[in-house]
A and B are shown apart, each in its own frame.
Chain A
């Protein structure tokens, strides 16, 4: 999944859809002629967007209904008597605050550690240009491309042996490595174009490699690093296979695992199931809204100024 989302991170900003609007905005508005087929196209695009949003809106609508309300009025009716029992029941049954904390703890630490590791690797590969760097980068990328099933059982045995099975630290360690494999690939190409004059100036001032890394390279690439950190956070939050197999006790589960674990049980009536999906959606929607500006600021645009 990983490379999928980052490519969009890298491009979300480069050509925002509103760029052409700036050319045609205000003064030029008179020139815009909308033909009938233009209207047809825009209607199709809007209908498509409604179809995409519809399942989410249905979940929102029906999480606040009682099962009897749902049975009598169907899924499309607005909730007449707002009903919170489904959400409250599910919240308590899975001990949702605990799961939220686990997910936040794991994802934040992975984001920080993976970015730190990526920076060290990319400093050697992009700026240090060590020998055979192309092959080393391919090796790291491979680490990110592999199906996780190919690592699952050996890692399960290893972490069991060292006593970290069913421990959030196992997940933190594994995803620090998997995410930094991708971060190394991306940051190496960003650092490969780092402005030489800045490095030369720092070098003339007598700074060593370690100081140049932390006092010149990292501050200048800060915005790339923060975008990377946000993506690592969200990807780790969304991970499923490893948390599912490694975090078996209730107290250690992450949000996606906890939501999935209760599906299909007899206690889950139709609106409680809807409420469970809603609780699974909300955190990621909040990240999307909070981080949208940082993400659109850009991975390459702000990196080198």
Chain B
């Protein structure tokens, strides 16, 4: 993923813009882009622009949209629910980015260093596959699995709590405002953890064991070596994980739809669910379009910031 064509730019300078196929100028290859471009235009670019246009209109889905200027946007910035939805996005980022990345670093490193080297690769692979398992499920199904465990009343978690004498802690986990958001976060940590584990374990294969041996001779303990060597070498993978997971966290929809529909009240509402409910439940299409456009802008800004930070990190590393 990190091998964007950017990397080979230097190599290309020698033979600028020649195709890899001798005797075939790069101009002739445009034809192959025609179907892809046409599809991208019709399914992505036109709807995206249309959606931006709708955000400046009043449209209830039946009569044609009416241009109302920035009214939706003014309303958006004064809408407490909109800000709540983005505050909940921060909770989603904690659950899908921060916790899985930190745990994934520790688990990936221990599975690779300790379990893989001292207890056999089979056990390490098996554990890695187990951690990865929730990742391959449809997120709504993953949500339903955890939702089943958290069922109010007779759910498995409440059952177990009662059995060990902690019945007082039993709760309507997804139904009360104080626990619903945390319950959703548990679902997301469960789903997401395997991804950084797999990526980081693969990246650790690049670390030269001699570096570790040298550090060990210098008396560095495991954690010092982890911080000084491991983190530095697998930094590109950490960036990829942070960026892709942050985008995924901003886009969360399925678990919210399947478990709480944003409720109770607005305690678990997220931008994507908020715009969906404006589109298809309140029939406030213009307002829904404004919310989804705002989300798009946030995602693009986050991506640009990430790539900037990564470039700067690479530059400082190169310059020593």
Contact = CB atoms under 8 A, between A and B. Distances in A.
A14 B202 contact: yes
A153 B54 contact: yes
B146 A15 contact: no
Contacts of B123: 42
A244 B272 CA distance: 14
B117 A20 contact: yes
Most buried by B among A137, A158, A194, A263: A263
Contacts of A259: 140-141, 144
B18 A240 contact: no
A274 B148 contact: yes
A44 B292 CA distance: 42
Given A11-B202, A17-B111, A240-B140, A4 B244 contact: yes
Contacts, number: 360
B20 A237 contact: no
Contacts of B139: 1, 238, 240
B295 interface: yes
Given A184-B36, A256-B138, A273-B148, A147 B296 contact: yes
Contacts of A16: 121, 125
Interface in B2-47: 3-6, 8, 12, 17-24, 26-33, 35-36, 39-40, 42-47
A134 B17 CA distance: 12
A44 to B, nearest CB: 8
Nearest to B291: A149
B190 interface: yes
Given A270-B151, A288-B136, A241 B17 contact: no
A42 B114 contact: yes
B318 interface: no
Given A1-B248, A181-B40, A234-B136, A10 B1 contact: yes
Interface residues of B, number: 122
B144 A276 contact: yes
B179 interface: no
B5 A133 contact: yes
B39 A177 contact: yes
B195 A203 contact: no
A227 B121 CA distance: 24
A129 B17 contact: yes
A74 interface: yes
Interface in A13-67: 14-22, 24-25, 32-34, 38, 41-42, 44-46, 48-49, 52-53, 55-56, 58-59, 62
A140 B303 CA distance: 15
A285 B136 CA distance: 8
B166 interface: no
Contacts of A123: 29, 32
A218 interface: no
Report which residue of A19, A48, A153, A192 has the largest number of chain B beta carbons within 10 angstroms of its beta carbon. Answer: A153
Contact of B144 (A120, A128, A156, A260): A260
A277 B144 contact: yes
B182 to A, nearest CB: 16
A88 interface: no
B137 A281 contact: yes
Interface string B296-320: 1001100100000000000000000
Contacts of B250: 147
B251 A15 contact: no
A6 B254 CA distance: 20
Given A128-B21, A146-B299, A287-B136, A17 B145 contact: no
A121 B1 contact: no
B203 interface: yes
B93 interface: no
A110 B7 CA distance: 31
Given A46-B127, A140-B40, A15 B29 contact: no
A233 to B, nearest CB: 12
B198 interface: yes
B259 to A, nearest CB: 8
A55 B146 contact: yes
Interface string A157-191: 11000000000000001101110110010101100
Contact of A24 (B4, B28, B117): B117
Given A15-B201, A189-B4, A38 B149 contact: no
Given A8-B198, A45-B115, A238 B26 contact: no
A196 interface: yes
Contact of A129 (B3, B19, B138): B19
B279 interface: yes
Interface in B98-119: 107, 110-112, 114-119
A34 to B, nearest CB: 5
B180 interface: no
Contact of B110 (A41, A120, A240): A41
Which 6 residue pairs of A and B lie closest in terms of their CB atoms, listed nearest first?
A: A128-B29, A15-B205, A21-B121, A18-B121, A11-B202, A154-B47
22 contacts: A3-B1, A8-B199, A11-B237, A19-B121, A20-B112, A38-B114, A49-B127, A52-B130, A52-B133, A129-B17, A129-B18, A129-B20, A146-B48, A148-B272, A149-B271, A150-B293, A152-B276, A153-B51, A153-B289, A192-B8, A212-B21, A287-B136
Given A55-B148, A151-B47, A178-B44, 7 more contacts: A8-B135, A14-B205, A52-B190, A59-B145, A186-B1, A259-B141, A270-B151
